[in-house]
Structure 1
């Protein structure tokens, strides 16, 4: 009742004023003392009849119009919901090939990281004198990353899943690239240092020093790159994060296949609410 009164406050106020106004007018003009009062009791009785009839007609018209507007709004809302559900259904179905391709790529990433971590642990266990720092510099063979599969990410309906897949695959690409590099022993540096001590010509000395500096910088950069990527891998628990993303992706694939096999309106509404 309170809700109805709140939504019809203007109508109720107008009705109340319309009812009170003739009463006030009657007391002011039809009191028998006012020279501005016209007509007798029958005249005012007829006025009241036509006036109240007009009010009732206006009220009925108002409620009919209000009801029609509400019904039209409900129909439009229902139509909009149906259109959204239909669009959501089509886009959800269309994403299945992309999901399967990304699942394959993410599985390769997980397996690649598991293999690299396992190989590193094996080397640390077998070679007792091998330090953590040295283990970062070893070359580990990794699976090839197909960057072309990243184009499928835009097909994924869930934005949060899109972001997670992108982050995980991008990291794996950098991880794979870094740990697959082999840090050269740079025997050339030993030769250059020996040569530097035996050369007297200043111009030639400068050239050798420049060459040594370039090789040392390259070596330090490569070692730092490999160390940093391994530290990110462990500190940010990348393997566990990627496995979690893969689980979410597999769940999305299962839901999509379920919709294809048996479209469910409630499941569609749930998907629409989550996105």
Structure 2
């Protein structure tokens, strides 16, 4: 790529174009053993050479100008083509944000309910009591809209890398969050109770190894679910995900407005 702002470029250009004049004022003014042809022939050669060089420069500048124009057109086209994807993302973010707020509202209600239930009255330490109440509320099942994995494909159209990464973070959290808090741990507890009841009723007629394995498997599944649920709620609180979703939604809305303005004034895009 020729850089016309580079001093070497202009030095070389001047040197090549000045060569015929220099030759005319030097060796072609004298007859020397190493001079082949007369001055007119050499000047004709250098005239053709410099003319070809100028033509090459002109062709390059025209081509370079066309390439730059095409790059701007492509950038503008890619920029405005994000609009449908951003509109879809905005719609889904609003839905997810509404669902998260509703879950948070129910979670707060459960905290209040368990605090006033008297179930934990025997706990004297205030911090321990608060932690137990919160853990009980977080262990409950909450209804929430499931995540649409096709949204990750929609994200590929987003040009802004920083916004792209923020959206991936939000959607990845929501996918994990929504898949975990909808799982009902009470169903696992009921299955475990049924296995134990069956053992009590049928006694020795049951395969004890099978029963023990089944109980251990259910216990392991319950612990795993509780652990994952603790993790997503911890992320929700520590990273202030509710505010994060609202900030990202605002950025998406701003980007949509910027693209709409760019479409109205394409010459300024």
SS of corresponding position for 1:181: coil
CA distance in 2 between counterparts of 1:10 and 1:183 reads: 84
Q: CA deviation at 1:203?
A: 5.8
Does structure 2 conserve the Cα–Cα contact (< 8 Å) formed by 1:92 and 1:157? yes
**Counterpart position of 2:154:** 152
Matches within 5 A, 1:101-180: 101-125=88-112, 127-128=114-115, 129=120, 130-180=132-182
Among 169, 173, 182, the alignment partner of 2:184 is 182
Deviates more, 1:206-215 or 1:7-16: 7-16
SS of corresponding position for 2:207: helix
CA distance in 2 between counterparts of 1:147 and 1:195 reads: 41
Deviates more, 1:4-13 or 1:176-185: 4-13
Does structure 1 conserve the Cα–Cα contact (< 8 Å) formed by 2:16 and 2:50? no
Does structure 2 conserve the Cα–Cα contact (< 8 Å) formed by 1:153 and 1:162? yes
Q: Report which of the two structures shows the higher radius of gyration computed on alpha carbons.
A: 1
**Counterpart position of 1:93:** 80
Deviations 1:190-234 (A, max 9, x none): 565577578763863223212211221221122112112112223
Does structure 2 conserve the Cα–Cα contact (< 8 Å) formed by 1:196 and 1:209? no
Does structure 2 conserve the Cα–Cα contact (< 8 Å) formed by 1:109 and 1:169? no
Alpha carbons of 1:194 and 1:180: their partners in 2 closer, same or farther (altered >3 Å)? closer
> Normalising to structure 1: TM-score of the pair?
0.70
CA distance in 1 between counterparts of 2:78 and 2:10 reads: 43
Does structure 2 conserve the Cα–Cα contact (< 8 Å) formed by 1:139 and 1:180? yes
Task: Give the paired residue count.
Answer: 246
CA distance in 2 between counterparts of 1:77 and 1:187 reads: 73
Does structure 1 conserve the Cα–Cα contact (< 8 Å) formed by 2:180 and 2:228? yes
- When the two chains are superposed, the root-mean-square deviation of aligned CA atoms in Å is 3.8
Are 2:206 and 1:219 aligned? Answer: no
**Counterpart position of 1:261:** 264
Q: CA deviation at 1:239?
A: 3.4
CA distance in 2 between counterparts of 1:145 and 1:65 reads: 64
CA distance in 1 between counterparts of 2:154 and 2:9 reads: 51
SS of corresponding position for 2:185: coil
Among 4, 12, 21, the alignment partner of 1:7 is 12
**Counterpart position of 2:125:** none
Alpha carbons of 1:181 and 1:200: their partners in 2 closer, same or farther (altered >3 Å)? closer
Matches within 5 A, 1:32-51: 50-51=38-39
CA distance in 2 between counterparts of 1:188 and 1:152 reads: 40
Deviates more, 1:145-154 or 1:176-185: 145-154
The gaps in structure 2 that reach 5 residues or longer are 1-5, 121-131
Does structure 1 conserve the Cα–Cα contact (< 8 Å) formed by 2:114 and 2:137? no
Q: CA deviation at 1:184?
A: 0.7
